[in-house]
Amino acid sequence: MTPAEIKTQLTEVFRQVFDDHTLDIHDAMTAKDVPDWDSLNHINLIVAVERSFRVKFTTREVSALEKVGDLMALIEKKAA
């Protein structure tokens, strides 16, 4: 998948998980930028990403994520 395709699909996942259809994502985005994005919701997001892209993450990979850009890079690596 191309980075642009990943971003589009990931945006849709974010919008579903956070129930906000105006939400847009960018590389530097972190949990602080989205209301209600806390550790309780974080794994909901990860599960939704796994289902949408048909990939599986390890705890180590998830714990290393600091911003949305990292997540997109990880998806690109796994979906390749």
Partner 1 sequence: MFLPVVALGLYLCPLRYQRHYLLLASYAFYASAGLLNAGLLFMATMVTYVCARRIAVASEDRPRRAYLILAVASLLTVLAVFKYLNAVGASFGVATNLVIPIGISYYTFKLLSLVIDTYWDKLGEQRLVSVASYAFFFPQIPSGPLQRAGDFFAQTEPPRPAPPALIASGLRLILFGCFKKLVLADRLGLVVDPVFRAPADHSGTLVLIACYLFALQLYTDFSGITDMAIGIGRVLGINAPQNFDRPFLAANIQEFWRRWHITLTRWLGDYLFTPLRMALREWGHVGLIVCTMVNMAAIGLWHGPRLTYLVFGLINGVYLVVSALTLRSRNRFFKDHPRLAAARGIVGPLIAFHLVVVGFVVFRAETLGEAGLVLGRAVAAFQALPGLFMLRLQGHNPFFGLFNAYWKPADLIIVFVGLGVAEGIHILHSRGQVSWLLTRLPRPARWAVYYAFVLATFFWGISSPQQFIYFKF
Residues that bind partner 1 (CB under 8 A): 19, 36, 38-43, 46-47, 57-60, 62-64
Smaller CB separation from partner 1, 2 or 39: 39
Smaller CB separation from partner 1, 61 or 76: 61
* Shortest separation between residue 13's beta carbon and partner 1, angstroms: 15
Question: At a CB cut-off of 8 Å and minimum separation 6, what does 9 contact?
Answer: 1, 52, 53
At 22, phi and psi to the nearest 5? -110, 0
Determine the residue type at 80: A
Smaller CB separation from partner 1, 4 or 40: 40
Distance, C-alpha 48 to centroid of its chain? 8
